[in-house]
């Protein structure tokens, strides 16, 4: 559901650097790390793994989040091109229950995608648990997205690991906030290069998240080397450097 930007800049750049945004592929386990305040962005990124014209249900499994209840808003989900009637929200009592229910959902070929919301360290989610998810997802050919809030990255068998933060949007007229914009970094990728970052913007016409060049407005960064100097990516936990764990 990701589309490369139509404009020549981004295309040229992605061709040049070979850095097209990899999609949250089916049959794989993806981890998305985000801060509690960026949770809507993380969820939007996870929902991007779902095909809009599919009619199968989307399983959203969660444990009670910290600090107030966050409830998905049907109209907001419809705004991201997904029929809210497809969403099945499962509340697990604890981490173990969440992983067990998630594993059952990932093994079934009924849902279109399985999204798990977890908070904090989630000790039960280790190499073995994540490997189970990988096997389940590979067999049922559906994407499994593990959303991890306020968590340190841990060793896991996931295919990709991302960090997602909200990005300043491109203002509409009268200084109104623009469409959803996020900054994603591919922290880890099994069997591929990692460490790239993209700025994504929701495009209503495509009904998809679309890549936009990092640092909008600077047209001459086409040839510029990519790393570091562009929009700084706030660390997942303030002050802590982003650690990369394979």
Partner 1 sequence: MPRALVARDGQALRLAAVDRHAARQGLAAGMTLADARARCPDLATAPHDAIADTRALERLAAAMIAFTPLVALDAPHGIMLDVTGCAHLFGGEAALVRGVLEAAGHVARHGLAANAAAARALARFGGGRGEGDVTALPVTALELAEDALAGLRRAGLETLGDLAARPMAGLAARFGEAAVMRLRAILGEAGSPVVPLRLADPIRLETRFAEPIARTDDALEVVEDLLVQAARMMEQRQLGGRRFGVTLHRSDNARRRLVVETGQAVREAGAVMRLLRERIDTLSDPLDPGFGFDAITLAVLHADHLPSRQILLEDGKEENADDAAALVDQLSVRLGEDSVRRLVPRDRHLPEKAQALVPALRVKAAVWPAPEDVPPRPLLLLDPPQPVEVIAGVPDSPPQRFRWKGRLHDVTLAEGPERIGAEWWLKRGGHMPGAAGETRDYYRIEDGAGRRYWIFRHGLFSEKPDPRWYLHGLFP
Give the interface with partner 1 as residue ranges (CB under 8 A). Answer: 37-41, 43-45, 56-57, 59, 67-80, 83-93, 97, 101, 104-105, 108-111, 165-169, 171-172, 174-178, 180-183, 202, 234
Instruction: Please report how close the Cβ of residue 32 comes to partner 1 at its closest, in angstroms.
Output: 12
Token reading at 246 = 């394979």
62 neighbors 90 (Cβ within 8 angstroms) = yes
Instruction: Please report how close the Cβ of residue 175 comes to partner 1 at its closest, in angstroms.
Output: 5
Count of Cβ atoms closer than 10 Å to residue 68 Cβ: 8
* Cα–Cα distances in angstroms (integers) from residue 56 to residues 35, 49, 50, 80, 91, in the given order: 29, 13, 10, 16, 20
CA dist 147 and 160 (Å) reads 12
CB closer to partner 1, 70 vs 157 = 70
Residue linked to tokens 């992983």: 99
CB closer to partner 1, 154 vs 203 = 203
CB closer to partner 1, 89 vs 222 = 89
CB closer to partner 1, 20 vs 36 = 36
Instruction: Please report how close the Cβ of residue 170 comes to partner 1 at its closest, in angstroms.
Output: 10
Instruction: Please report how close the Cβ of residue 180 comes to partner 1 at its closest, in angstroms.
Output: 4
In 3D space, the residue among 171, 230, 169 whose CA is nearest the CA of residue 202 turns out to be 169
CB closer to partner 1, 44 vs 156 = 44
CA dist 52 and 49 (Å) reads 9
CB closer to partner 1, 171 vs 192 = 171
Count of Cβ atoms closer than 10 Å to residue 215 Cβ: 13
How far, rounded to the nearest angstrom, does the alpha carbon of residue 148 sit from its chain's CA centroid? 10
CA dist 99 and 122 (Å) reads 10
Instruction: Please report how close the Cβ of residue 90 comes to partner 1 at its closest, in angstroms.
Output: 5
195 neighbors 244 (Cβ within 8 angstroms) = yes
CA dist 177 and 175 (Å) reads 7
CA dist 209 and 45 (Å) reads 8
Instruction: Please report how close the Cβ of residue 64 comes to partner 1 at its closest, in angstroms.
Output: 11
Token reading at 86 = 């497809």
Instruction: Please report how close the Cβ of residue 174 comes to partner 1 at its closest, in angstroms.
Output: 8
CB closer to partner 1, 83 vs 126 = 83
């Amino acid at each position: 559901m990701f589309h490369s930007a139509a404009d020549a800049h981004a295309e040229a750049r992605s061709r040049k650097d070979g850095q097209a945004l990899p999609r949250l592929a089916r049959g794989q386990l993806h981890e998305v790390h985000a801060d509690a305040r960026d949770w809507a962005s993380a969820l939007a990124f996870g929902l991007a793994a779902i095909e809009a014209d599919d009619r199968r249900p989307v399983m959203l499994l969660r444990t009670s989040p910290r600090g107030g209840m966050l409830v998905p808003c049907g109209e907001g989900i419809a705004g991201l091109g997904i029929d809210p009637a497809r969403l099945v929200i499962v509340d697990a009592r604890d981490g173990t229950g969440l992983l067990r229910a998630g594993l059952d959902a990932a093994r079934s070929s009924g849902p279109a995608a399985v999204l798990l919301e977890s908070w904090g360290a989630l000790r039960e989610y280790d190499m073995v648990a994540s490997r189970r998810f990988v096997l389940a997802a590979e067999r049922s050919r559906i994407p499994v997205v593990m959303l991890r809030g306020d968590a340190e990255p841990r060793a896991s068998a996931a295919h990709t690991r991302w960090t997602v933060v909200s990005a300043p949007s491109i203002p509409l007229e009268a200084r109104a906030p623009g469409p959803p914009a996020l900054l994603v970094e591919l922290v880890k990728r099994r069997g591929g290069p990692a460490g790239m970052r993209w700025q994504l913007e929701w495009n209503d016409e495509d009904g998809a998240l679309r890549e936009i060049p990092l640092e909008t407005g600077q047209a001459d960064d086409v040839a510029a080397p990519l790393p570091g100097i562009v929009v700084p990516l706030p660390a997942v936990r303030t002050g802590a450097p982003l650690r990369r764990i394979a």
